[in-house]
Amino acid sequence: MHRRPILILAGMLATAGVFADSAYKWVDAEGVVHYSDVPVEGAESVDLSGYSRKTGAQLARTRSPAADTAADEGTADRPFRYESLAVASPAAEETLWNIEGILNVSLALRPGLQNGHQVRVYFDGTPRTVTGTTFQIEEVWRGVHNIQVEVIDEAGELMIRSQPNRFYVQQNTVIR
């Protein structure tokens, strides 16, 4: 009989964070912005008191088919834009060992590569065109190398460009 008030109190305490009026924002070492309702070292407080809250059921009731159509038509007028592009691998300033002349490259592109768009790669200043976000570059030998990528549309127009990325290739030497 005494369990019911304890369970109700425990439930209220467990859900108290859901109704918090503040959030925390911080930027990690990679430059990615994060938000949380739990404070993290170096985070700044974001006041949410001015924002309205609606449950999923309330949102479902307020959304109509006409609103969906209007939203779709509104996006048709805006030109497509990529949010971000970066060379994920090799990482900037990374040292690669014994790659046997073959460099595996992976890109982080958001949103994903659109139909008809291509990736132009500048490897040590030489342009190459590829059709995906993962590819290989051959004949990459020891030394310092630079890679930068950009996405171009069907007309060859620049859509987005990554930051230049410098990395190093090392090869073990066998002493005879």
Summarised one tens digit per residue, pLDDT across range 52-73 is 555 555 545 544 454 455 455 5
Which of 39, 55, 77 is at the close of a domain?
Answer: 77
pLDDT in tens, 3-29: 666 666 566 555 555 555 567 776 777
69 and 135 in a single domain? The answer is no
Instruction: Look at residue 139 and tell me if it is in a domain.
Output: yes
* Residue 55 included in any domain: yes
Number of domains in the chain: 2
Q: Which residue has the higher pLDDT, 117 or 79?
A: 117
Residue 134 lies in domain:
84-170
Same domain as 52, residue 103: no
Q: Give the burial string for 58-74 (b: 16+ CB within 10 Å, else e).
A: eeeeeeeeeeeeeeeee
Residues 94 and 149 in one domain: yes
Q: Specify if 101 maps to a domain.
A: yes
- As given in the structure block, the two tokens for residue 72 are 């779709």
- The three-state DSSP-derived secondary structure of 67-136 is HHHHHHHHHHHCCCCCCEEEEEECCCCCEEECCCCEEEEEEEEECCCCCCCEEEEEECCEEEEECCCEEE
The answer on 88 and 73 residing in a single domain is no
Q: Do 35 and 104 have their domain in common?
A: no
Residue 86, pLDDT > 50, answer: yes
